[in-house]
Structure 1
Amino acid sequence: MATATAGTTPGKPMSLGQHILDKGTEMLQSLKPVKQMQQHVCTFALYSHNMNRQIETHHYVTRINEDFLQCPVYDSDTARARLIGIEYIVSDRIFETLPPEEQKLWHSHAYEIKAGLWVNPRVPEALQRPELRNLTKSYGKFWCTWQTDRGDELPLGVPSLMMSPQSVGSGILNPELVKSRDNRYGIDSDDLKKWRVEIEEPEWINPNADYWKNTGKGFSTEVEETEMTRKAPYP
């Protein structure tokens, strides 16, 4: 497959009629779920099955409550950004209630935040600080549904599990990726790292999270053909 140009997908350009229709429905419908997105976070993610593949990600955060966030993830913050996945974020309180096999699918956020990789673009650091203190104790599960980094022009195949950058082994992030992001937003991740020294790290990070660090093994997904579950038709 040919490499896709950033922000493009196959298809005809939007017609004037379609623009008018979309504007009309926008005025008539509430779009309540979308309007609950109140934060834009830019960070990075690594494919669990191949951590040499590393991507910049843009998360648009909806807070369900103090312990649970849900985030559609895009490949940029432009008007033509492509939806590439979904991340769920839970507090340590919720994470500790999950079965051990489920916990292995999740990653910690402490290093990502302390290292200045997790940022709210254009938001002053001092304003982010209370939120960051809470998020250092959180865990995320991120499924990538559109592998734009390999040039896919459409969301092909099965979702891939993503991991958070870490300071060791395969989890170390390519500095050029960080430099490109920082230059675009006029920030310095190294400076942010110094600002965040005083943010307390969790007393304990569950070893089932970031599972690859202890085992050297990631997770891949496959489609398996199976017999359908059948039941009698409704009367």
Structure 2
Amino acid sequence: MATTTAGPTPGKPMSLGQHILDKGTEMLQSLKPVKQMQQHVCTFALYSHDMNRQIETHHYLTRANEDFLQCAVYDSDTAHARLIGIEYIVSDRIFETLPPEEQKLWHSHAYEIKAGLWVNPRVPEALHRPELRNLTKSYGKLWCSWQTDRGDVLPLGVPSLMMSPQPMGSGILNSELVKSRDKRYGFDSDDLKKLRVEIEEPEWINPKADYWRNTGEGFFAEVEERQMTRRAPYP
């Protein structure tokens, strides 16, 4: 499967004055939301409406509490990485409270983790093993807003819903994509898979998640023009 790489983002190079301004504001402002990012996870995602399109993703996680995480998703871990989307991750406890129609938009993480696809680069496996045990029971909703895999140099169109790799059918991940990632970070997903055998499978994975597996249907977002709801004038 060939992957298209987006070219340089349009725009003039950063000036010295802009660099100085950015450094100054960085020193003066707190940037608290960004500083709450505590983990870097590298994994893979598939477009819900076209699972032949598969991408490597880099998630920078902020933990709100034990049951909810929010992630800024980039296309790499370099200084010039593009922000391509967001993912929300909830525990099984929260997922079971969602309406059935909402649950269809989410994917499970059990296979992704057990198969060694979900990794914390440069972090010893033993250190984040307790976290992996919890995440196998979690569900994610990932929207990709910048389709760099098709060569877009800007975030064009509407966001696309993404799904997690699965062990069968069209959800199987391209092995070359995994090998390329593993080589870059110096590990083997197959070895991780063996190490993670002892991580317990969830007792229950809600079939409303990974909706495409049971129905063969994905989701594709479109823009619809509507009459604007106008604000009433101030008194």
- TM over 0.5, shorter chain: yes
> Could you give the per-residue CA deviations for residues 184-231 of structure 1, whole angstroms, max 9, x where no partner exists?
000100000000000001001000000000000000000001001123
Which residue matches 2:60?
A: 60
Counterpart amino acid of residue 226 in structure 1: R
Separation (CA, whole Å) in 1 of partners of 2:227 and 2:170:
38
Separation (CA, whole Å) in 1 of partners of 2:216 and 2:188:
31
Alignment of 1:64-83 (within 5 A): 64-83=64-83
Separation (CA, whole Å) in 1 of partners of 2:6 and 2:152:
6
Which residue matches 1:180?
A: 180
1:83 Cα offset (Å): 0.1
Separation (CA, whole Å) in 2 of partners of 1:224 and 1:184:
42
Which residue matches 2:216?
A: 216
Q: Tell me, yes or no, if the aligned pair for 2:112 and 2:164 is still in contact at 8 Å.
A: yes
> Could you give the per-residue CA deviations for residues 1-33 of structure 1, whole angstroms, max 9, x where no partner exists?
x9633xx20000000000000000000000000
Which residue matches 1:39?
A: 39
Separation (CA, whole Å) in 1 of partners of 2:188 and 2:6:
29
Q: Tell me, yes or no, if the aligned pair for 2:85 and 2:146 is still in contact at 8 Å.
A: yes
Runs of 4+ in 1 over 2 A off after TM superposition: 2-5
Alignment of 1:1-235 (within 5 A): 4-5=6-7, 8-235=8-235
Secondary structure at the residue paired with 1:33? helix
Q: Tell me, yes or no, if the aligned pair for 1:44 and 1:54 is still in contact at 8 Å.
A: yes
Separation (CA, whole Å) in 1 of partners of 2:92 and 2:184:
33
Q: Which ranges of structure 1 fall in alignment gaps of 5 or more residues?
A: none
Separation (CA, whole Å) in 2 of partners of 1:229 and 1:148:
34
Separation (CA, whole Å) in 1 of partners of 2:158 and 2:190:
36
Separation (CA, whole Å) in 2 of partners of 1:203 and 1:39:
27
Separation (CA, whole Å) in 1 of partners of 2:58 and 2:92:
23
Q: Tell me, yes or no, if the aligned pair for 1:3 and 1:153 is still in contact at 8 Å.
A: no
1:232 Cα offset (Å): 1.7
Identity over aligned residues, as a percent?
Answer: 89
RMSD: 0.9
Secondary structure at the residue paired with 2:231? coil
Q: How many aligned positions are there?
A: 232
Q: Tell me, yes or no, if the aligned pair for 2:5 and 2:149 is still in contact at 8 Å.
A: no
TM-score normalised according to structure 2 size: 0.98
TM-score normalised according to structure 1 size: 0.98
